[in-house]
Amino acid sequence: MNELIGTLSDGTPVHRWTLERAGVRVRILSYGGIVQDVEVPDRDGRTGNVVLGFDGLDGYLAHPEPFLGALIGRYANRIGGARFTLDGTEHVLAPNDGPNSLHGGERGFDKRVWDAGEVAHGLRLSLVAEDGEEGFPGRLEVTVTYTLDERGALHIAYEAVTDAPTHVNLTNHTYWNLAGSGTAGGHELRVAASRYTPSGPDLIPAGELADVSGTRYDFRETRKAGGGYDDNFVLDKGVTEAAEEVAELYDPASGRVLTVATTEPGMQVYTADHIGEPFEPGAGVALETQHFPDSPNRPEFPSTVLRPGEVFRSETVYGFSVR
């Protein structure tokens, strides 16, 4: 089911699709591919929304900075110095996070209206990023498919092709609050990551893959998430062809459990300490499955290069249950 929910200043219409299956309801906007809400039951069977979002389009237009629920590209996370060299050619990007490029630049995929069409139990979104947009080389054709499976798990499948060598790193920026209100500081988190990428104040990795043992970054055993995190965790499984479970988020108050499975090698954990009004700090937890920050400038990291004739593929699955 889809409905018109508003228009942009240039008259472009924005629609909302509703997916329902196995007791889960998900609403997705064509603007930014935004996951507006996800409704799932708690341990007592009471249904509630477990993601941060706005009631209408105007909220997202007025508050773009948190990237609430949006699809992120052409490059998720940060690229240091807003530049990289590929095959001997330097490419200068749009700096929108101090001197760095963040989440694709000033007009990333989160600010685009995607073409949309229904598929079985889901929605397929597509767009074209032209050669040179935000400084990135290559004409990139992107498709993202949201589907609910028979268990009510939300699958996000990404595909992209290019006509020239480029860098691609795609994710979804949903903030989860399994309580449905208040903050997520009391949620408990587990992440299958023995290492993380330390970074400086600008959140650009230093290049080291550091051991989490004995540090506040050790979530290999479930413990309270708390706050103060905006860090990339190096998933133990690495890059995989099929999505493998890498994380679990649990809210003891509601009993809701969120599991995360992905093909990606990293996951950015952001506890929304700087999310800003109208939300309070710590209102949600973003679990952004992706390649590592600044990979275009770090040949020792898993590669994000996509070349003509290749197909970028990635999948992340969010599962829901109660305990």
Q: Which residues are catalytic?
A: 173, 288
Q: What are phi and psi of 243, to 5 degrees?
A: -70, 130
230 is known to lie in a ligand binding site = yes
* 177 known member of a binding site: no
Cα dihedral 14, 146, 248, 47, rounded to 10, equals 60
- Residue 173 annotated as part of some ligand binding site: yes
Q: Which residues are annotated binding-site positions for beta-D-galactose?
A: 77-78, 173-175, 230
Q: Which residues are annotated binding-site positions?
A: 77-78, 173-175, 230
